[in-house]
Structure 1
């Protein structure tokens, strides 16, 4: 049963989700400008993002022991502050090496903040009559919308990236400080860190390992869809349609707006049609949207396609995060496996898209080659995901 302290903690966690979304939205829409200022190609942008992704993968490996030792509250606040402080480094970068340092810091601390806030969000959601995990992720998306719209307007006003990101960091740190006192101070976890006494090689142990592998695979596929659409929407418009910077940034906003609408309505839709059907509907919608966004020769249809794709991917991550957070065993194990898949995709997918876009292919074609097969793979795994969720929650 939810209490008054739980309500305060939920509001504080909601702030964390919003801030985390705003962090990325502050600089991703302006990546084309940063690329030009640093004087690198779109392929080199993809390479730097992939290199930085290694640190996120390392973070996934250490997140479980870190959370077990420090607790989710301290990890969330520490990592949230350092993730925010990476923005000015990106903002002042004039060389690829400085940009890489900022991206590495961002990826390293983001994974810690990501896991900690989802663990607290899942615990608080489980105490309520009506779950809230999808809406928490909706607040993350709302943060990306507000941050993306702000970035577009700021770019249109010819305010420098460095000034923009320094000011954004100050605002984000104030928001984190406001929420810090109300977060849960005592962690909980299904299974109490136990593996139910299963010995290595036993059926129970093999089942747990299979579940963790499933988390890793669906994490990879989900980020290949979600982040590729977000990260490359602006490049699709600048490089394929010669759109000005302020207009191109709205491609990012279109994805984020679709995600926000889908996440704030996701709990209601799941209650009406069931989670398995929602997953299938979402992935089909993602495929339709990405096809229009990446293959259409019309700029307006491209904007619409990105919005539909955002609506489609909206409910994938909340369901996956909630399932992984409830996985029994050592705190953060399920989320560690899920984020390992996410970070592996962050490591490989930008490099692949950037390399393809540097050829004679358009940016849209490069995105399509990477994402449309992922749509098929995710659709094939939809029933498996539902089964993994049932077993994790049943344990």
Structure 2
């Protein structure tokens, strides 16, 4: 209701987008959904490839960790650089090119003959994954404005679906076809998806020139820096993204170990926590757009943070294994729509170009996902994981209260 009015008002301001043919808007909606699916699909295939890469290169966990940091640095750098490129050239162009460059990334990693080359290909993966991430979120905001209705949650649902599809399929392909065969398969499948969507992305209503094409001063540092907002609001929104990404990443990185070590779960059941979490998260993201339009972004975000807080309290304090797994399931319900809401709000933040707003907020979120595993591992050695998960209940409660100060979620 409130969200529909907000997006509708943004659409009125968007001009040409609002007048686009309904069929064109529908095509654009499915094209950007395909981009989200393809991005998640590559990430899903990357997960089972990690131990294969470590075995092929004969590297230790610490060296593998350094390679993952290269991936993360590439993603962070490209989010900010990609935001500037998206603002200059439009999100549709950047999604097109970055998706094509992402498709062969895993094959390049598989073909790397040395540790140094692998580090460079990891950087490649991070750069184009991150740049595509920011651009496709910006394009989803453009489609939201054109439709006058929310789509961001379901777009993230397609990302989750891509990951849920890619991970098990990737494991099977690695066993059946080997490292190179798997990577070639990912290149072909991802290529088919992104090529099918290439001509259907919606052009942004306004592409803000850092300088005209004929202006030789177009890429001056001053003009680039002028795009960065000076108000605190967008950075508080980024903090909300940070505080939403970290709990989500903690379940991915630590839930299986938590069940195995602190609840003595059999290895066959250790993955159930993440399965329960990711399954409910994907489902709730597909339901999220309707909830946002009924309740509004501010109320949906607050309720989601409270539900996630309850889920982490159950997961951290529960004694029986089914109760703990149920807690992670509730976490999925709560966390599902927090990040999509923050991204959507960043894309329509007043006085900030959509790509810049999304780039800043996504960079905050990625930094949380990158730093959290190491910090949580250090703390867990001293306190145990149960206390960490219980602490997230308090953190998410605080995140919900922090969101009340953000006008961008209410407007």
Q: Which moved more, 1:325-334 or 1:275-284?
A: 325-334
Matches of 1:367 and 1:89, distance apart in 2: 37
TM-score, reference length from structure 1: 0.79
Partner of 1:174: 192
Partner of 2:94: 75
Matches of 2:353 and 2:281, distance apart in 1: 31
Matches within 5 A, 1:1-395: 1=18, 3-28=22-47, 31=50, 48-90=67-109, 100-151=119-170, 160=178, 163-184=181-202, 186-189=203-206, 209-236=231-258, 244=267, 251-293=273-315, 296=318, 299-327=321-349, 328-356=351-379, 359=381, 364-365=385-386, 368=389, 371-372=392-393, 374-385=395-406, 387-390=407-410
Gaps of 5+ in 1: 195-204
Following superposition, the deviation at residue 172 of structure 1 comes to: 1.0
The number of aligned residues is 376
Q: CA RMSD in A?
A: 3.7
Following superposition, the deviation at residue 20 of structure 1 comes to: 1.3
Seen in structure 2, the aligned counterparts of structure 1 residues 88 and 274 have a Cα distance that, compared at 3 Å, is same
Conserved 8 A contact 1:221-1:377: no
Matches of 1:366 and 1:104, distance apart in 2: 34
Conserved 8 A contact 2:315-2:386: no
Conserved 8 A contact 2:265-2:321: no
Seen in structure 2, the aligned counterparts of structure 1 residues 264 and 383 have a Cα distance that, compared at 3 Å, is same
Partner of 1:199: none
Seen in structure 2, the aligned counterparts of structure 1 residues 257 and 307 have a Cα distance that, compared at 3 Å, is same
Q: Deviations over 1:259-299 (max 9, x none)?
A: 11111111222344443232122112222333444565655
Following superposition, the deviation at residue 137 of structure 1 comes to: 1.6
Matches of 1:36 and 1:287, distance apart in 2: 39
Conserved 8 A contact 1:25-1:145: yes
Gaps of 5+ in 2: 1-17, 212-226
Following superposition, the deviation at residue 180 of structure 1 comes to: 0.4
Seen in structure 2, the aligned counterparts of structure 1 residues 287 and 49 have a Cα distance that, compared at 3 Å, is farther
TM-score, reference length from structure 2: 0.77
Matches of 1:9 and 1:50, distance apart in 2: 34
Following superposition, the deviation at residue 13 of structure 1 comes to: 0.8
